[in-house]
Structure 1
Amino acid sequence: MSQYKYLCGFGSHFSSEDERCPNSLPVGQNSPQQCAHGLYAEQLSGSAFTAPRTENVRTWLYRKLPSAVHKPFQALKTAKYLSHNWDEQQPNPNQLRWKPFDVPTTQQQVNFVEGLHTVCGAGDARTRHGLAVHVYLCNSSMDTAAFYNSDGDFLIVPQQGVLDIVTELGRMSVAPNEICVIPQGIRFAVKVEGPSRGYILEVYDGHFCLPDLGPIGANGLANPRDFQTPVAWFDAAEVKNFQVISKFQGSLFAAQQDHSVFDVVAWHGNYVPYKYDLSKFMVINSVSFDHCDPSIFTVLTCPSLRPGTAIADFVIFPPRWSVQEHTFRPPYYHRNCMSEFMGLILGRYEAKEDGFAAGGATLHSIMTPHGPDFKCFEGASKAQLKPERVAEGTQAFMFESSLSLAVTKWGEQTCQKLDAAYYECWQALQNKFKLHN
């Protein structure tokens, strides 16, 4: 049986059962007096019970034991650079660029949770408003532990190394140039085969969804049918010492239990983890003149209560044809009422081919000016305009937010990856103004 089902449409209802245990799903009701095979029924709700039907998400799990069967949670201090303290540093309006973040050496074993490092963020998980940007830097697997985030959704962007992710609803393998979303509350474990690095966008307000297409019409950008969700799978191994890690109000807690959380034999609902291959993104672009706003590259969005304004957008800049005439083709110089955090999965970003490296990042805060460096501007201003491929072999992305992001102490000091010379990439630009041409 295939490891995945195609999501087909956000909000659609799905069902799955492990092929080793057929007829596990009840017929006609969610919680019968006695579930098949001695299983327990448990609902996982990702929205209020009374949320509108179009926004109501939940999944019924049929598992060997309820999730409540665990010992008390105790504070856990293993991820010492995971933070939600946005006041530990003075605000910094400068353009910021990080060199590639260091992955752990072979002398130090660090798993996914231990390797979470918060770079920046805003808001408060307790009031369910805001976001955080993390990087994960790890080299070992979570073999007898699982993690869940009580605060919000995780959008995970691998940059180095394949992630084998086991979730309560099944397994996913997520490689660089793919992404996955683990919704709030779903328990998962990450297994790796060596040094691994990537980026995480965490949102507190709601859930990620596809952006509306407006005049684009019915098709384009990230098509729903290309998203995949896992099929049901349960761990048949006997486990006597299992750790459940919870991220709750920005802090970590751990509880012990004598069985694996990956004991879900069957499930049905519309609250599921999913993955997406970024190479399947259908690019929309100008075929006449001018450089389009980057919103045309939005893969997923977490909307705010203000129409057209996002708590967070996930945007990519994939390989594509550039054919505009009478146009400066690279991104224009820009000041924005949004915060823009960029990362590079592979290749060389076309607007800054030097200095912005895969595994690194940039942050251009609200109203902080930014744009092409001197080399890019000079080349694009004089280039012969003919159809050409842009960003071939490259995948850059952006986490964009309407919130003003604060950088953590780890991001600005401890990681020692902040590039103090970033501002220099614009200093060679010259005043070429002439009153009379």
Structure 2
Amino acid sequence: MLNTYTQPSSCGMIEEKPSCSRKFLAVLYMRTASGNRSRAALTVRSGVVEPGSTVLVAGATGGVGQLLSAKLLDRGYKVRAMSRSQEKTKQLLGDAPNLEVVYGDMRNPETLDAAVQGVDAICCCTGTTAFPSKRWDGGNNPENTDFIAVKNLVNASPKGIKRFVLTTSAGVERPGQFPWLILNLFGVLKFKRMGEQALEASGLPYTIIRPNRLTDGPYTSYDLNTLLKGISGARQDVTLSLKDDLLGETSRIATAEAILQALLVDSTENVAISITSKEGDGPGQDPAKGESESGLDRLLTAAALSSKIVIFSGSGLSATSGMSTFSTKGGLYERAQRKFKLQDGKTLFTYSFYDRNRLQALAFFADIYLEATRATAAPGHHALAELQRVGRLQRHYTLNIDGLAEKTHKKTMRT
């Protein structure tokens, strides 16, 4: 269990932004039902582009663009879907409140000024095939699509936008390595990287998302409600990296969610994030995990809106790290109950247990220590440490004595 009490942040407060460490986008695994946290932890910061803001989606008729548009609308954003075919866009996305369809050809800069006017953020999901195909007709080759068009959109972007999220590809920093050298025979990775560099040099706040080979979709003639029902099938295990070092496949659903989260988490500013998804279960129906993840979601929301936070955490947070709870069969407390001949495991946390026999109390603490040394801090523990680091965590009340939060360099708080 993880509950939060928050004090609203002061108007006009400006905070110094930390560099993006390895802790970011933790909420992604909850939104895509992924469970792999080995390469991705989180940072909790104020929201960058809040719901209600206007987000331009370039490439809204593509598989990722459709899913992203649906997710943005579902989360309360205003979506300006830009494409070269307004009719096709309306057929694919339908007629939804807060959805505006506009014309824009990124290869022609003069068509972009009206499309980008007044937007708070831009998400570019455009792309073409790596090898010659019908999609190259009309000049839609990698150079025009992945470099020139992206550069034009970057140059047309309002200087005051809060985030420009660009979707490119894994392998852009490894064009000479197998299998990327094959994919790059016609320069697609070279031009995608040039598009990234144009964005990096622009001075705009940006995030680059680098998926591997995309799975799920593409989607045709789906309305928004149908798109929102999409799931990642068996590919629910998501991996993130700040390096271009992943290999595999990536669900379009996970990619769209990563783009959306880049709008919400400000420590993703000016970084490139690689993402893959593979077969594997997410959190599933484990009550402890579900409870902790729900709490973490609340924590992220509270952190986006507040400057002073008090947290009450319970066993659900530690359970995500593999620590025993009172209901764990054969776990620490069940073993201790038998070992010390107690009526139930909760007796271990009564004063009489320690007062009656100090040696058995020390033995129990030793067992807790051994279990805690094997456990790894969960995203929730990293969230506590990050909140403390940026000065937002005012108090942390907990019954947990496993020290897992301290593994993340969180200081012990005493009241």
With normalisation by structure 2, the TM-score equals 0.24
| Larger helix percent | 2
With normalisation by structure 1, the TM-score equals 0.24
| Larger strand percent | 1
